[in-house]
Amino acid sequence: MTDSQLAGTIASAMEEARGRDAEDVLARMRDRFVSARPGTIYLNGSSLGRLPAATADRLARMVNEEWGSNLAEARTQWLDLGERIGDSIAQHALGAGPGEVVVGECTSVQLYKLAVAAVRARSERGTIITADDNFPTDRYVLDGVAADHGMSVLTLAAHADTGLDLDALRAALDENVALVSLSLVSYRSSALLDMAEVNRLVHDAGALVLWDLSHAVGAVPIELEDTEADLAVGSGYKHLYGGPGAPAFLYVRRTLQDRLRQPIQGWFGHRQQLEMLPAYEPDPTVRRFQTGFPPVLSLTALAAGVDLIGEAGMDALRAKGLALAEMLQDLVAEHLFPVGYTLASPPDARRRGVHLTLRHADASRIHPLVSRADLAIDHMAPDLFRLSATPLNTRFTDIVEAVDRIRMVTDEFLGGGG
């Protein structure tokens, strides 16, 4: 394709994108975020979500009016903060009920607590199953839990681009499996698993399921209750817009709560939390999975992001996310495949989360050029790019402009002899 032909196809795509932006029911939500630097296109929401405009004011009010003015007397209004925000996430993004989600520590700690609770409940069994496209920290945690409990970890091989084949999971399940822990959306390829089918397979084998929803929550509709999920954790700083280091949530199905005992027995999980009794007695509710005082500042920031998810609605988010993904994929095929890019995600957008992964042999050398072109995308060594078209704050015109910039810098790189 000649330069003039390229310019023509980009101009045509841009005209279509402007029309779609004008009809976008979520267009108003873009102004609810702090603007990036002028001219910058941000497609890295799978690493860190953008800053909601309301967050700074919420934090200022909490710091000045609650902490600053009331000091320790404000503690009583913070005691159930992790539960209140957990209920909001449950309602707006997880398809779960009140009293099933609580927010507190980081994802790794939340995963550890639930993994230990699960294997203790299946102590007569000896195997934990995961997949090699599960997030690395999950695999590290599961290895440690298995070593501490005399178990072994079976790591299933997932296809690098399309994710785990459920036939492999089906073949691996037997009466010795205690726990299966998987990511609903692969951090690498964006492959989306069938939650209902995984839950059914694992339950038929008598095991428990622990989901990592970090790249799914706020990006795709999730129905924990309807699919009979057991346990889940998820990040607060990606598609929930909680900010750097935002605390993670954990979910425990209500019917399991009084049967599981988590390993980090802190005062916030005590059934008589403020009595300061000498012996630990776990609360009968989801509160038993808390440990220490919640990170109040971080939770306050997270609440602002969760409110935006609730206002937009997951159905609208998913609909726009799919429309953005399909436009991106078409443009990638037309403009980036000819210069060496290939798809490293499932080809069907309905089988993905919100990000699209591309492979290029020279990704590590092209990425600095992309950054200098004011385009923020994620590079995963050695040869992958993740493009996250988050529907709350990405325009269709952003997609066209992003692909054009990638094509231009790649042409520059290839024209310079690499």
The residues assigned a catalytic role are 135, 212, 237-238, 386
Cα separation of 418 and 415, whole Å?
Answer: 7
Residues shown for the chain = 418
Cα separation of 202 and 228, whole Å?
Answer: 11
Distances in Å between the alpha carbon of 272 and those of 103, 267, 281, 285, 362? 19, 9, 8, 12, 58
Q: Is the peptide bond between 295 and the residue preceding it cis, with omega within 30 degrees of 0? A: no
Cα separation of 164 and 160, whole Å?
Answer: 9
Is the sign of the CA dihedral 172, 175, 180, 184 positive or negative?
positive
Element (H, E) at 296: helix 296-312
Contact call for residues 406 and 370 (beta carbons, < 8 A): yes
Contact call for residues 224 and 73 (beta carbons, < 8 A): no
DSSP-derived secondary structure for 196-211 = HHHHHHHHHTT-EEEE
Q: List Cβ neighbours of 17 (8 Å cut-off, separation of 6 or more).
A: 327, 395, 396, 397, 399, 400
Contact call for residues 81 and 294 (beta carbons, < 8 A): yes
| Ramachandran region, residue 209 (left: φ > 0; alpha: ψ -120 to 50; beta: rest) | beta
3-state secondary structure of 347: coil
Cα separation of 260 and 262, whole Å?
Answer: 7
Cα separation of 106 and 131, whole Å?
Answer: 21
- The candidate with the shortest Cα–Cα distance to 180, out of 158, 210, 156, is 210
Strand partners, 352: 191
Cα separation of 281 and 404, whole Å?
Answer: 60
